[in-house]
Amino acid sequence: MSHWLHRIYRGRRSMLAAVIAGGILLGLIWPAAPRGAAQGAEHPIQSDGAYAVADVVDQVGPAVVFIEVQYRQVERPRTGPGFPWDPFRFPSEWFWPFPQPGPRSGSGSGFIIDEEGLVLTNQHLFGRPDMIERIQVTLPNRDEPLTAVLIGSDFELDLAVLRLEGEGPFPVVPMGDSDALRVGEWVIAIGNPYQFEHTVTVGVLSATGREIQISDQSEGRVRNYRNLLQTDAAINPGNSGGPLLNLRGEVIGINTAVSTRGQGIGFAIPINEAKKVLDDLIHRGMVVRPFIGIRYMTVDEAAVQQLQLPVDYGILIVDVIPQTAADRAGLRVYDVITQVGRQTIRNTEDFLKAIEGMQVGDVLLLTVIRDGREMAVRVEVGERPQGL
């Protein structure tokens, strides 16, 4: 190879190496294009990476709303939804990102999930439905707020659904799959912290499966949250009920709680938890939960000796709630359940696994030991009464 040809060859190799190196460097600096965008996803966002977050905000931002709740005047102010609220009065280290600017109002966030105007948000924004005077919802692209009606809510899951009173079709936030999330992936929160409308923050999914407790003074109960998503995306008062999104622009969680002690510790309800109960919330106004109506414990050595049981395993019924499925089936206190169908029950964990997934109307065939004799009892699963 002549000298000048060798110089051209070496120059082209250098340029190729520079291009490859530059591509690697850019890949380290800019977020990768959203996963699934090239696989024919239902709601993909096409992005060159540098503007992935901005593309998500452009697409779903119009469907993220600002919620204001007006309450009727009461004789004596007290802490709770619709009243002056101080998160540091709570004994828990967690609180809702839910500002309370005055004795008759509250505010939060939500997002539209249906073109006809259904809004998904947190239930704790409406802790006293009987005291609500008016709900107004402001959309980013509309000058005037719309009136909304609370059509369904659930205390345990802290979910609520509103229906907008206005002409559609409305913009919609597509739902993702929270079970497919990976710790460390990018997430985006959109909401209205401190009434700074339509604020966008970015972080990563820090963890999954978190459990926390928050005292609800308006209800006089403690909320036990399970299976929450944890994120370091900034969540502040006013973000309650807003969406936590992936880089495909799909909602994967509902922003719900933050830590009073640390920074960058926020929590969201997985969207798959909401999917399971949306139909009940929309059409029945509440979540219908299957219920048998017994309180029980694992059979232990003390129970075997005191009750002279012929077995040392199973679950011992310690209470039968009147007018429930168990009561109608004839179950009694001190009955021992040793089987559900063909599955042997040795402890409470076995029993919970055996009845997992049961639905109202299902029939359970229980093997029961009563007064030393084995018998079969058929129980038609009922609906859990409100308040239990």
Mean of pLDDT values over 176-195: 92
71-75, 86-90, 265-269: segment of lowest average pLDDT? 86-90
**Domain 290-383 indexed as CATH 2.30.42.10:** yes
Hey, what long-range contacts does 358-362 have (CB within 8 A, 24 or more apart)?
358/290, 359/290, 360/288, 360/290, 360/291, 362/290
pLDDT at 298 over 50: yes
Q: Which pLDDT belongs to residue 104?
A: 57
* Residue ranges covered by each domain of the chain: 33-287, 290-383
pTM above 0.85, yes or no: no
Average pLDDT over residues 333-360: 92
First to last CA, the chain: 88
Q: 41 or 134, which is more confident?
A: 134
Residues 6+ apart with CB under 8 A from 200: 53, 57, 61, 188, 189, 190
pLDDT of residue 364: 94
For the cut 90, the answer to whether the pLDDT of residue 294 exceeds it is yes
Mean pLDDT of the chain: 81
Architecture of the 33-287 domain: Beta Barrel (2.40)
Residue 292 or residue 167, greater confidence: 292
Residue 214 pLDDT > 50, yes or no?
Answer: yes
Question: What pairs with residue 112 in β-bridges?
Answer: 119
What percent of the chain clears pLDDT 70, i.e. is strictly above it? Answer: 77
Asked whether the CA dihedral 356, 358, 360, 366 is positive or negative, the reply is: negative
**Taking the CB of residue 330, how many other CB atoms lie within 10 A of it?**
14
Q: What is the pLDDT of residue 357?
A: 79
- Answer whether 344's CB lies under 8 Å from 334's CB: no
Q: Is the pLDDT of residue 234 over 70?
A: yes
Alpha-carbon gap, residue 208 to 58, rounded angstroms: 27
Check whether 27 has a pLDDT greater than 70: no
What pLDDT, on a 0 to 100 scale, did the predictor assign at position 100? 45
Q: Which residues are catalytic?
A: 124, 158, 240
Confidence of residue 128 (pLDDT cuts 50, 70, 90): confident
Tell me the C-alpha distance between 297 and 317, whole Å.
7
Q: pLDDT band at 186, cuts 50/70/90?
A: very high
Across 257-264, average pLDDT: 80
Q: What does the pLDDT read at residue 292?
A: 94
Kindly state the tokens that stand for 316: 């011992």
